[in-house]
Structure 1
């Protein structure tokens, strides 16, 4: 079984919606990091303070085909192609340790259902 890491970076207010979309598409566990980003445009300044929106970085380890399915669902439902909606991407995993056996069994069952 081949795995991919799916990373979705969305504004903090879209975090719950993104997780729900991913779960509905078949994703299980997620690691959530919080941060700020610097875009192409200058940040807004309000009373001398620079406003920087908070972002959520969602990291999923998924079976390769499932990662693509989740990526497509996030792109469609969050409309990532629009400005300031977020970004999502995948990359392959060569070696993996520590994945939950229940998660692997879930991936195997989903693959069997596809066949």
Structure 2
């Protein structure tokens, strides 16, 4: 089995934004993604009036990347989702010790 030093990028975005984010991740080298739905709480209340425009329904995107792809994919996700702006969502990275079923190119 090839050791690919996998990482997990998790990105949570506003409902309806996942397709664009996944497309950007794939163009940056990701080989696939898993998208599912969730409901967020907290940020809407903290932003006050501006929080009224943030929908609680979210899309959660999971991307497994090889170590050498991770920075490019993460940066593409941040840009495509507009995560520099408050209330647009967030992304985080996990280093994985082991993974199986990961297909490398």
Same fold by TM-score greater than 0.5: yes
Unaligned runs of 5+ residues in structure 2 are: 46-50
Higher-Rg structure is: 1
Alignment coverage as a number of residue pairs: 96
Does residue 69 (structure 1) correspond to residue 69 (structure 2)? The answer is no
SS of the residue corresponding to residue 99 of structure 2 reads coil
- Structure-2 residue corresponding to 1:86: 89
Give the counterpart of 1:7 among 10, 31, 36: 10
Q: What is the DSSP-based 3-state SS (H/G/I as helix, E as strand, rest coil) of the residue aligned with 1:29?
A: coil
- What runs of 5+ residues in structure 1 fail to find an aligned partner? 45-50, 107-115
Q: CA RMSD in A?
A: 1.8
State the TM-score, normalizing by the size of structure 1.
0.74
Q: CA deviation at 1:53?
A: 2.6
Shift of 1:79: 2.1
Aligned pair partner of 1:95 in 91, 94, 98: 98
TM-score (norm 2): 0.80
Find runs of 4+ consecutive structure 1 residues off by over 4 angstroms. none
User: Highest relative contact order (Cα 8 Å, sep 6+), 1 or 2?
Assistant: 2
The answer to whether the Cα contact below 8 Å between 2:13 and 2:81 also exists between their aligned partners in 1 is no
Once the two structures are TM-superposed, the CA of residue 65 in structure 1 deviates from its matched residue by 2.2
